[in-house]
Amino acid sequence: MAEDSLMRGAVIRSWGTALPPKVVTNHDLEQTLDTSDEWIVERTGIRERRVGGTTSGLAIEAGRQALDRAGWDPSTVDLVILATTTPDQQVPASASTVQNELGIAGGAFDLNAACSGFVYALIAGHGLIGAGMSRVLLIGAETLSRITDWDDRGTAILFADGAGAVTLEAVDGPGQLLGWDLGSDGSARHILDADIGGYLEMDGREVFRRAVRVMVESGNTALERAGVSASDISLVVPHQANIRIIESACTRLDIPMERAVSVLDRTGNTSSASIPLALADAADAGRISPGDLVLLVGFGAGMTWASAVLRWQP
Ligand code: COA
């Protein structure tokens, strides 16, 4: 491997999304749970979510859209990384199904860092491009509805299904990634978990408290490493868990809420899929211009966290 390949940067070329057609509104949940639309909107910001499909099926749809938009022949793709906590099977990786169905020539693996998974995959993708790869497809896809107890009002109101994907390509020069941070505090793994074959269990208040803290710490670390300040950031793309978590974190990061992307009112919490879904929504809406600085911030079960500062240049 050429020594200078380790210096090679990468940029996002395109993006794609997939949401299952079935919509479950808060009013639908009122029929089976002791809850109300008003309570869910006030405490979380979520109004409806999408449910259904398989993780690989959603990943294939989002991945195909991203490949088509980039104009990439799948045989030129070196690797697909599928960030997911809900693979279709325990073995093999769902990424192998995606690789085969999309006709990708390169390697494939799943990555589980819970809701930080997509940003972990993004950082890993940059590293592998630095190590010599040319084209990487990154996907976050989940079918959390399969591991949600629909009789538990503490979790059923939050979690949902979906997928988002981006194509990442090598460029000459430093590329888009200016600074990043990732981490984990496994001592807090019991506050949000699901046994194999079981349902998600969560201490909501504790997750909330820690989520705000790690978003602020990790976001600030990435900003510092990028050599930029919060006021330089044009857009924050946070993990879509709860609008109050996003508001608290933005306040503490000193970034106005108008600069934060939120799609959770329509998607709920789709874990690994949430950041690419939000990024795609902002990009499609024309909210990001070439040269803008974008801060991605994820946190999730583990607890894990991951942040990245990108100079947008698709
Ligand atoms: N509908 C109506 N009432 C509900 C409810 C629901 N769906 N869920 C809980 N309640 C009740 C509780 O039983 C409690 O009642 P009590 O005061 O009589 O005991 C009251 O509402 C407050 O509960 P609490 O758990 O303190 O609410 P909260 O403001 O912390 O909101 C969450 C609960 C789950 C919305 C919030 O803690 C949260 O979003 N946490 C983070 C979860 C998360 O992001 N997880 C994913 C991380 S990747």
Whole-prediction pTM:
0.97
pLDDT in tens, the chain (314 residues): 344 445 689 999 999 999 999 999 999 999 999 999 999 999 999 999 999 999 999 999 999 999 999 999 999 999 999 999 999 999 999 999 999 999 999 999 999 999 999 999 999 999 999 999 999 999 999 999 999 999 999 999 999 999 999 999 999 988 999 999 999 999 999 999 999 999 999 999 999 999 999 999 999 999 999 999 999 999 999 999 999 999 999 999 999 999 999 999 999 999 999 999 999 999 999 999 999 999 999 999 999 999 999 999 98
Question: Domain ends where: 130, 155, 172?
Answer: 172
- Same-domain status, 24 and 55: yes
CB atoms within 10 A of CB 187: 9
Amino acid in the structure at residue 124: A
Give distance in angstroms: CA of 130 to centre of ligand 1.
43
Annotation says 115 is catalytic: yes
Structure token pair of residue 218:
């990790």
* Cα of 150 from ligand 1 centre, angstroms: 15
Both 168 and 187 in one domain: the answer is no
Asked if 128 and 13 sit in the same domain, the reply is yes
The CA-atom distances, in angstroms, between 140 and each of 53, 202, 204, 229 are 14, 22, 23, 28
Instruction: Judge contact between 106 and 75, C-beta under 8 A.
Output: no
155 and 234 housed in the same domain: no
* 225 plus 161 within the same structural domain: no
Cα(211) to centroid(ligand 1), Å:
14
Task: Indicate if 59 and 165 belong to the same structural domain.
Answer: yes
| CATH at 290 | 3.40.47.10
Instruction: For residues 65 and 21, state if they share a domain.
Output: yes
Same domain assignment for residues 16 and 151 = yes
Q: Are residues 269 and 194 in the same domain?
A: yes
Asked if 57 and 74 sit in the same domain, the reply is yes
47 and 124 both lie in a single domain = yes
Q: Are 199 and 269 in a shared domain?
A: yes
Please tell me if the CB atom of residue 300 comes closer than 6 angstroms to any atom of ligand 1. Answer: yes
How many domains does one find in the chain? Answer: 2
